[in-house]
Structures are given as C-alpha cells and as structure tokens.
C-alpha cells in the first residue's frame, strides 16, 4: 500500500496519529485524578480523538498531496527527489512534534486543549517567546525535538522511498487528488469542536479533542454572532426584563424600549474622591487564607479584609485578562467570542473612565508591560484613558524585567508619581493599574519575600505581588491625597479556569476589596457579586450622578434577590442566580444545573423558564447593544 504514488499520505497519517495518541495518553495520565473513570467514556474519548486526528491529517496532508500530484513520473522517480520529499516531511513532522510539547505545557497551565489563549499567544510573539525562553531550557528542548523528528523519519524512510517506485499518469493522479480534497473540505464544513462533548466531565471532553483542531476552531471563531448561534428571544421582551432587573430607586430610564440607558441621580452631594484600581493578574480566590489557603502567600491582602469593604462572593466574568478588563471598565456581560477589548470596533466606548473623565478626572491606564499586548493600548486610549506602559516608565523605577514587563513594584511606584502629578495640578484622578508578575516565569526582584525568585513558582509570584501592593499602600499613606482616595484591589481572573465540568463556578471566584480607611466603613458583603458590578458600585459609593449604560449593579443599592453573576468561556455563557446555573452554548443549546460553589461540580437540574429567559436577555441584550453601537460613550 505504501508503494502507491500517494503512499506518503499514509506515512503522514501514521506519524500524526501516533503523536496524537501519545499526547492523549500523556494527558490521560496527567489528569487521571480528575477524570471520569467510566471505561466507555475513556474509550469514547480515544475514538473521537482519533476522528479529530484524521480531520487534522486531512489539512496537514494537503501540501504532501500537492507534491505527489504535480510531480511527473520522470522526475518523481529520481533519487534526488528524495531530498525535497524528506525536507517536506521534516518540516511537517517538526511542527507535529513541537505541538506535542506545546500541548502538554498548555494543558499543565490551563487544563484544556488550545483555545483563544493560544491564538492570542501566537499573535504576541515578543512576550510569549520571551516567556518561553525564560521559563524553559530551550536549547535542550530544541535538541530533543530535532532528535525525535530525525528518529521518526528514519523509521519511515523506506515507506517514503517505496512511493517513488510507483507510476501514475497525470489524469489518474488528478482524479485521486480531487477525491482526496473531499476529505479536508468535509472536515472544514461538516465538523465542529462540539463532537467531543460526550461527558459531563470536561477533562474527558478535552481529552477527546485535538489541540491543532481546537486552535483552528478558536482562530476562525474569534467573534461569534450571538443571534446566529445562540437561542434568542424577541428584543423588546428581552429589554423589558433587563429594565426591570436594572431598576433602582435612583435610576430613571430613557424612553427607548431597546435601551438600558438611565439617569442615575444621587440624593446627597457627590464625593470628590480619587480612585486607584489595581487589577491583579491571575489572583485566584483560593490563594487567600480567607478562602482556606495554608501557604500564607497573601498575608497583606488577608490583613486588609477587616478594614475595608470586602466581597466574599465575587466572581470573574471570564478566564482571560481582556475579559477582566472588559468587565471592570465596561461593566458589560461577556459576549460570545473574543473580548470587546480585542475587537476592531471598540473605540469611544462607555467606560468607567469616560464617566470620571466627564467629571474632570485625570484617567490613566497603567500597565507594566507593552500595552500593544491584547490591544489594551488602543482600547483604553480610545475610550477616555491616557495609556502609560513600560515604555513610559523610567529605568529608575525598574527593579526586574521579564518578557511580560517590569516588576509590580516599579509599576505601582510609577502610579504614585502619576497620583502626585494630578494632585499637584489640582485634579482628581482615576488610575487603573494592571499587574504582570503572576505570569511565567514567575520571577521578581531578589530580597523581597521569603520565597526566592529562582523557585519560579506561582506561590512566589503571588506573594511578591502581595508585597508590592503592601509597599504601595504604605507609600501612599505618606501622601496628602491618601485620605481622599478609594483603593480597589481585584483580580482579573483565576489562574486556572478548567475543571471537571463546564463552567465550574469555583474557578471564577476571585478576591475584591475596596479600601479607604477614612471613607468607607469596613464590612463583609456576602451576596453574589459579578465583576461587572464593581464600576457602578464604586461610582455609587461616591454618590455620583451620571447617565449610565452599564449592565452592572450598584451592589449597595440593590434590592435583595436580584444578585446574579456571569461566568463564561469564549463559547459557553453562564448565568447564576438563586443557586441555579444556566449555560447558553452554540447550536442554540441550553443546559441548566445546580452549581456547587465549593467543588465546582454542576448537577443537572431543571430550572424555571423565567430564569432561562433572564439569561438570554442579559447575553442577547449585551450583544445587541454592542453590535448596534449603543454601548458607545454618552455624549
């Protein structure tokens, strides 16, 4: 069979499927404690995985098939033709072997196959390649990869050469090539990444996938049209629900029934307070002693809890920094596909910055890395913020640099300088700072904490950021503007989001604290609070009157029973209220559960139609207002 003119296609199928099987076995062993050990599900994962492997083979085989088709017999049968054939196989096999290594690393970090994160990482090569170089012994890995590729080619060399012993006329080759093309075409038009979802255990489903296919799916579905892929309702009915849910004693809605625009009017004088919002990279709730951590890696944040407004049940909207930034600035539920921060038509948006800038504030977005990453710079600079990143921070502030940017101390010290400048100019300020240290390679300046940077652990990176925030607040206490400033500390998302089930709620639980000893009475807020509620809550604490397009609640003025949270991946949109979870997915699917907030387990449970309609209203309404341009800045 290998003596056939298109025999190299079978050789490639053998290499690709063997490497994919090896990857699947490694991931199986890696995730064994979290798997559903039902033999039928495990067998199903491998069989479906083999199906996806063949689909991927269809795409990878196209250049090989082209070569076999176009090369005439008199050339193809020459010995020198082995050189381009083996070079082609070397390149394809190199990609496949590198992918095995990358998939294992990605799985270790995120517990899933490739997704939007992998697509983003491919785009931002400077940060990612620098991060890889700092985190791993790259020369050793490259040497091992090349050795494995050469070994595989050595094992299949005779089978490749056998194909050169076969003759096939051009007409027959053309028919064979066109028949072959039906396979990748069918894979493109008829297959989607939902075929693998055979179990309620997400690890089983991910095991049945193929990383390369998942990467392609995430790349092509960068933005997903809600109305095309999700269950929908009448827009007027949706907005009737939204306006009821968003109604508050101090809110008066506009006359447009397809709008949530409302005037927020305070019944007492506005507080002219400054705001410093620190969004901390990947700060999972379970890193804090408050939520059971025994490593004592957030001693300072834990010590602040009794002295501020602490949100015990605060949940991130998504699993990426850009989702967190979207929620914190726009106060909008996540929309399917990529975060609005990353989309092209996202200028002049209605943000917390636009509200405060309209009140005369200096508004800055301060980032220790390059704000080109994740389109942060373009988004914030076009939506009422002045963007300052590592290119603006003088070297005198920098103690340590990684591929992701400068140390958190440097970024926070630079933030104090911006606060000083605004104060000296007689201006109120809003500074939103994004940290970077809790990223691989998890290194930081020497001598700060009792975990050495050489350990390169998440625990060390988290404790260093905790140290940096402690230093920042202590330095701020010496400033004349300290007593008139709200300090908000919140995570952008958890460090790991995958779990045994779809949308495990415990993987979205993050810390949030508003600290201002002279301004805010300490208390514990025990109700469910969504990340999109933070901006309206801060503005509410300041008694600001403004025209709002936010979907978030001012939690201090929220009627009991209305609280809800949103959690999502780029495809699954989750809505939690009254101890029930509704998940909206492509192909207009709706699944309902009773979530366990401790373990993340989701037990299937029927919920009322009214709760499903609420979920649809929030998500469809958010997509409607964004796509129609009604989430732009109020002018």
Section 321-325 average pLDDT: 95
65 against 229, higher pLDDT:
65
Q: Report pLDDT digits (tens) over 287-314.
A: 999 999 999 999 999 999 999 999 999 9
Q: Is the pLDDT of residue 271 over 90?
A: yes
Q: Tell me, what's the pLDDT at 141?
A: 87
d(CA 540, CA 557): 8
- Mean pLDDT on 186-197: 89
| pLDDT confidence of residue 508 | 97
Instruction: Spell out the domain ranges in the chain.
Output: 7-220, 278-566
Distance, CA of 608 to CA of 621 (rounded, Å):
20
| 372 exposure class (CB count in 10 Å sphere: 0-12, 13-18, 19+) | middle
**pLDDT, tens digit, for every residue of 584-596?**
998 889 999 999 9
| Termini Cα distance of the chain | 71
When pLDDT is averaged across residues 506-534 and rounded to a whole number, the result is: 97
Per-residue pLDDT, 78: 79
Mean pLDDT of 620-632: 94
Given a cut of 80, whether residue 386 has pLDDT beyond it is yes
For 278-566, CATH gives 3.40.720.10
Chain center to CA of 329: 16
Instruction: Using the predicted structure, report yes or no on whether residue 193 has a pLDDT greater than 90.
Output: no
Contact criterion met (CB below 8 Å) for 551 and 618: yes
Mean pLDDT of the region 152-169: 86
CA 529 to CA 525: how far, in whole Å?
9
The mean pLDDT of 128-140, rounded to a whole number, is: 75
pLDDT of residue 116: 66
**pLDDT bucket at 169, cuts 50 / 70 / 90:** confident
The mean pLDDT value of the chain amounts to 92
Structure tokens at 484: 């008139």
CA 233 from centroid of its chain's CA atoms: 28
pLDDT for 3-51, tens place per residue?
788 889 999 999 999 999 999 999 999 999 988 899 999 999 999 999 9
Task: Tell me the percentage of the chain whose pLDDT exceeds 70.
Answer: 96
Distance between CA atoms of residues 448 and 37, nearest Å: 44
What is the structure's pLDDT at 499? 62
pLDDT of residue 13: 95
Banded model confidence at residue 218, pLDDT cuts 50, 70, 90:
confident
Whether the pLDDT of residue 81 is over 90: the answer is no
pLDDT computed for residue 93 by the predictor: 95
Helices (H), 442-559: 458-476, 534-541
pLDDT at 123 (0 to 100): 56
Distance CA 302, CA 462 (A): 13
Task: Say if residue 384's pLDDT is above 70.
Answer: yes
Minimum mean pLDDT range among 131-135, 238-242, 541-545, 625-629? 131-135
Helix segments in 431-519, DSSP class H: 458-476
CA gap 464, 453 in Å, rounded: 9
Task: Give one DSSP letter per residue of 344-371, joined into a string.
Answer: SS-TTB--HHHHHHTTT-EEEEEESS-T
Tell me if residue 408 falls in helix, strand or coil: helix
* pLDDT at residue 559 tops 80: yes
- pLDDT number for residue 305: 98
């Amino acid at each position: 069979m290998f003596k056939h003119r298109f025999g190299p296609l079978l050789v490639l199928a053998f290499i690709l499927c063997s490497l994919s099987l090896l990857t699947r076995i490694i991931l199986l062993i890696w995730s064994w404690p979290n798997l559903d050990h039902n033999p039928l599900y495990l067998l199903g994962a491998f069989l479906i995985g083999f199906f996806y492997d063949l689909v991927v083979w269809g795409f990878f085989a196209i250049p090989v098939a082209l070569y076999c088709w176009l090369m005439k017999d008199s050339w193809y049968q020459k010995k020198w033709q082995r050189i381009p054939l083996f070079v082609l196989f070397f390149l394809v096999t190199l990609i496949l072997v590198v992918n095995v290594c990358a998939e294992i690393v990605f799985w270790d970090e995120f517990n899933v196959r490739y997704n939007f994160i992998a697509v983003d990482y491919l785009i931002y090569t400077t940060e990612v390649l620098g991060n890889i170089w700092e985190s791993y012994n790259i020369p050793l890995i490259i040497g091992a990869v090349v050795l494995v590729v050469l070994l595989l080619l050595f094992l299949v060399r005779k089978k490749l050469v056998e194909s050169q012993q076969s003759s096939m006329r051009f007409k027959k080759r053309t028919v064979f090539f066109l028949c072959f093309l039906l396979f990748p075409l069918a894979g493109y038009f008829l297959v989607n990444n939902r075929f693998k979802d055979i179990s309620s255990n997400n690890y089983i489903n991910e095991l049945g996938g193929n990383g390369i296919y998942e990467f392609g799916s995430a790349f092509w579905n960068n933005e997903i049209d809600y109305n095309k892929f999700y269950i929908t309702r009448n827009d007027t009915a949706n907005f009737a629900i939204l306006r009821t849910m968003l109604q508050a004693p101090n809110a008066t809605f506009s006359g447009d029934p397809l709008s949530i625009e409302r005037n927020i009017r305070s019944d007492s004088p506005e507080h002219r307070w400054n705001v410093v919002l620190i969004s901390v990279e990947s700060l999972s709730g379970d890193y804090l002693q408050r939520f059971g951590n025994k490593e004592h890696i957030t001693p300072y944040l834990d010590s602040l809890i009794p002295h501020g407004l602490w949100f015990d049940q605060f949940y991130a909207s998504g699993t990426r920094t850009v989702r967190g930034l979207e929620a914190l600035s726009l106060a909008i539920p996540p929309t399917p596909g990529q975060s609005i921060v990353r989309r092209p038509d996202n200028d002049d948006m209605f943000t917390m910055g636009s509200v405060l800038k309209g009140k005369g504030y200096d508004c800055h977005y301060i980032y220790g890395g390059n704000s080109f990453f994740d389109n942060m710079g373009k988004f914030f600079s076009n939506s009422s913020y002045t963007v300052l990143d590592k290119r603006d921070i003088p070297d005198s502030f920098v103690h340590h640099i990684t591929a992701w940017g400068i140390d958190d101390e440097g970024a926070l010290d630079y933030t104090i300088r911006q606060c000083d400048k605004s104060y000296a100019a007689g201006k109120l300020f809003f500074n939103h700072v994004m940290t970077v240290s809790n990223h691989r390679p998890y290194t930081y300046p020497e001598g700060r904490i009792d975990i050495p940077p050489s350990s390169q652990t998440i625990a060390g990176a988290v404790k260093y950021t905790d140290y940096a925030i402690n230093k920042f607040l202590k330095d701020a206490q010496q400033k004349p503007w300290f007593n008139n400033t709200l300090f908000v500390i919140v995570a952008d998302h958890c460090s790991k989001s995958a779990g045994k089930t779809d949308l495990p709620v415990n993987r979205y639980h993050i810390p949030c604290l508003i600290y201002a000893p002279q301004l805010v009475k300490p208390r514990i807020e025990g109700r469910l609070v969504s990340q999109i509620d933070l901006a309206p809550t801060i503005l509410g604490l300041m008694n600001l009157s403004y025209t709002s397009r936010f979907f978030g609640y001012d939690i201090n003025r929220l009627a009991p029973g209305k609280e809800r949270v949103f959690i999502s991946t780029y495809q699954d949109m989750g809505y939690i209220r009254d101890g029930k979870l509704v998940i909206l997915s492509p192909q207009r699917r709706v699944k309902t559960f009773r979530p366990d907030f401790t373990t993340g387990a989701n037990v299937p449970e029927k919920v009322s139609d009214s709760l499903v309609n609420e979920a649809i209203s929030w998500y469809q309404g958010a997509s409607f207002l964004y796509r129609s341009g009604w989430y732009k800045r109020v002018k």
